[in-house]
Amino acid sequence: MNVLLLSMPDYFEHMPPVAVRMPNGALASLAGNVDAHHAVAVADLILTHGSVRETVIRLIHELHPDVIGLSVMTFQRRTARRIIDLARSLQPAVQIVVGGYDPSLAPEAYEEMGVDYMVRGEGEITFRDLLRAIESGEGYASICGLSYRAGERWVHNPLPQAHRLEDGDIRLPKRAARVLRGYTLLGRQVDVVETSRGCTYDCSFCSIIEMRGRNFHVYSLERVLEDIRDARDHGARTIFLVDDNITLNVRRFEALCQAIIEAGLNELDYFVQAMTSAIADHGETLAPLMHRAGFRYVFLGIENVLERDLQFLRANAKNTARGRGGSRENATVKAINCLHRSKMYVVGGLIVGNPEDTRESVEANLAFARRYVDWPYIQHPTPYPRTPMAQHFHERGLVANERLEEYDGTTAVVRTEHLPAEEIEFLRWKAERWMKLRHLPAAFRHDPWFIVRHAREMLSHTYRGCTLRSVLGLEDNRKAFERYKAIRRGERVYV
Ligand code: B12
Ligand code: SF4
């Protein structure tokens, strides 16, 4: 069968397509795990800004897919609906499958969306078995993780166990299936690689636990190296390790860094997301090793610098370091210092606008980011389906915005007991632009040619809505913020 797999074009504030266009790791992994006789094409629509509709039409005309699969996050649901309608109008008999976080956690939303199947949870085996069932006509009842129509109603089969990656059941991603070009992270071709899946923490904002339970499974280091080599051979110069929480097993992460060095794969740049407590506790040895392995940017899930907010986010355990004599101290500064000493940049993930937040507590977090982090990645609490956080905000009546296409993390959709949502977003937006500007020289040193060619575009993205008058303080910043919000609303119309 001909299979076309699409990821959605919707992006969020911290990932402007001018600078960041990463492949969706799920789709290449699905392509690598279906039976070999299928012709699979993967198209990441993040690569097609300004021509999403034309690209989908072209791909459907050229590839004549029997099956179209879409990977969807919650804030991309509206776009997914439009693409489903478009595909259906062009090829009425095509079988449409949706998967990823949104269909897995809010399957009810897709029942009336014109799709034929939903794949909930991990997809490789379920999708392979679905294609087999479509071909053979033998029925779907035994396929774990699949939802399908039976007459007028939907049947939701039980979820599969989390895949034991250790057993080698999941084959390598098939990057050759990608039919669009132009992946980039600040000018260098980027690819994504997984080394593990899962997490044993339960932060209240994170979808991972509802998605797959609390568990952690790892690929063998040999497989990880093979995957990195494959990404490099397909042109990647930067690798984003997309593990949910790679630092859960620090010894293994150290062994991975060592293996990368020994294999000579430290010629590539690496980006990774890490837990602050792990870096604070093990950074003295881990950080120099990461640096030698080629790690350049580390996304730290700081979440918040105030204890009360960390409790709400259920993130205090992962943000506490082991102090002398068993005392516990906030791990963040210690982790940042370790990374800086080893010449790595810190992308600071903070969440402001929690229920008890006041202007002062938001400002305290912004001041922290200004002082310590190299690239701010500040977000607002976002009540994604079936997270404990969503329940909490709904119960307290703090949800201010139900438009899911705005659930991108940088639009404040909840208020606090003391501040309206819009005010929280304004505070973040106003502060963050300048922090981003400050990092430009560092980016220039690494990729001067890219920055020379794109600095103007990047700056005009960061400062959307601003005028010379507002930058010079001759116009109220709120006016610029209103213009920014209007521009952002327009940007969200992808199809
Ligand atoms: C890595 C990552 C990123 C990377 C993405 C790099 C890339 N292009 O791949 C970066 C840092 C850029 C990123 C950004 C964002 N992310 Co993110 N990210 C993750 C993370 C850590 C891992 C995702 C991953 O690649 N896993 C590996 C792949 C193989 O697994 P998978 O995606 O789950 O896919 C499997 C199944 O879902 C299924 N499947 C998926 N798609 C499809 C499609 C079909 C047809 C089928 C059959 C099956 C299927 O099969 C796959 C294989 O088993 C997760 C989870 C976490 N712990 O935080 C969050 C997560 C996915 N991100 C999330 C969000 C919201 C975002 C952002 C909006 C920022 C934000 N507010 O947090 C942005 C949006 C990006 C954009 N487009 O602008 C949310 C999604 C929540 C939701 N309900 O939608 C998650 C779950 C984190 C959370 N907050 O809980 N993210
Ligand atoms: S540590 Fe990270 S992956 Fe684990 S539950 Fe918290 S946010 Fe999610």
Q: What are 420-461's pLDDT values in tens digits?
A: 999 999 999 999 999 999 999 999 999 999 999 999 999 999
Q: What one-letter code names the amino acid at 24? A: N
pLDDT greater than 90 at residue 36: yes
Residue 326 Cα to ligand 1 midpoint, Å, equals 36
Residue 316 confidence class, pLDDT cut points 50, 70, 90:
confident
Instruction: Determine whether the shortest distance from the Cβ of 216 to ligand 2 is under 6 A.
Output: no
- Residue 97 Cβ contacting ligand 1 at under 6 Å: yes
- 349 CB under 6 A from ligand 2? no
Q: Please, which pLDDT band fits residue 329 given cuts at 50, 70 and 90?
A: low
Please report, to the nearest 10 degrees, the dihedral formed by the alpha carbons of residues 138, 141, 146, 147 taken in order.
110
Question: Ligand 2 within 6 A of 384 CB?
Answer: no
Cβ contacts of residue 185 below 8 Å, gap of 6+? 19, 20, 21, 22, 238, 240, 271
Cα 206 to ligand 2 centroid, rounded to whole Å: 6
Which three-class secondary structure state does DSSP give residue 294?
coil
Rounded Cα distance, 104 and 25, in Å:
17
Ligand found nearest the CA of 207: 1
Q: Residue 60 pLDDT more than 90?
A: yes
Ligand nearest to the CA of 214: 2
Nearest to 180 by CA among 65, 83, 71, 45: 45
**Percent of the chain clearing pLDDT 90 (strictly above):** 94
Q: What is the torsional sign of CA 225, 199, 43, 190? A: negative
Nearest-atom index, ligand 1, CA of 126: 47
| Triad 78, 41, 94: Cα angle to 5° | 60
In the predicted model, what is the mean pLDDT of residues 57-80? 98
- Say whether 99 sits in a helix, a strand or coil: strand
Report the pLDDT averaged over residues 365-381: 96
301 lines ligand 2 (CB under 6 A): yes
Q: Which of 89, 84, 97 is CA-nearest to residue 34?
A: 97
Residue 326 has pLDDT above 80, yes or no: no
Q: What is the pLDDT of residue 489?
A: 96
Contact 358, 420 (CB under 8 A): no
Alpha-carbon distance of 164 to 195, in angstroms, equals 12
Residue 257 has pLDDT above 50, yes or no: yes
Helix-, strand-, coil-residue percentages of the chain, each rounded to 5: 45, 20, 35
24 lines ligand 1 (CB under 6 A): yes
Query: What are the pLDDT digits (tens) for 455-465?
Result: 999 999 999 99
Q: So what's the pLDDT on residue 65? A: 98
Task: Quote the pLDDT of residue 323.
Answer: 59
Q: Determine the residue of 217, 244, 249, 277 to mutate for testing ligand 2's pocket, defined as the one with the most ligand atoms within 8 A of the Cβ atom.
A: 244
- Residue 16 CA to residue 309 CA, distance in Å, equals 29
Residue 66 main-chain phi, psi, to 5 deg: -85, -30
The beta strand positions in 160-312, using DSSP E, are 184-185, 190-193, 196-199, 215-218, 238-241, 269-274, 295-303
Q: Is the CB of 201 under 6 A from ligand 2?
A: yes
The confidence score (pLDDT) of residue 408 equals 98
Atom 62 of ligand 1, residue of closest alpha carbon: 73
Q: Report d(CA 246, CA 256) in Å as an integer.
A: 10
Q: Whole-number mean pLDDT of the chain?
A: 96
Please tell me if the CB atom of residue 32 comes closer than 6 angstroms to any atom of ligand 1: no
Q: Whose CA is nearest to atom 1 of ligand 2?
A: 201
CB 443 near ligand 2, within 6 Å: no
pLDDT tens for 84-99 read 999 999 999 999 999 9
Phi, psi angles (nearest 5°) of residue 211: -70, -40
Ligand 1 binding pocket includes 127 (Cβ within 6 Å): yes
Give the confidence band of 328 by pLDDT, cuts at 50, 70, 90: very low
Which residue, by CA, sits nearest to atom 72 of ligand 1?
409
8-state DSSP, 113: T
Please say whether the beta carbons of 291 and 343 come within 8 A: yes
- Number of other CB atoms surrounding residue 266 within 10 Å: 16
> What does the pLDDT read at residue 192?
98
Percentage of the chain beyond pLDDT 70 is 98
Q: What is the mean pLDDT of residues 381-407?
A: 97
For residue 313 and ligand 2, the question of a CB distance below 6 A is answered with: no
Our answer on whether the CB atom of 122 is closer than 6 Å to any ligand 1 atom is: yes
For residue 339, the SS3 value is helix
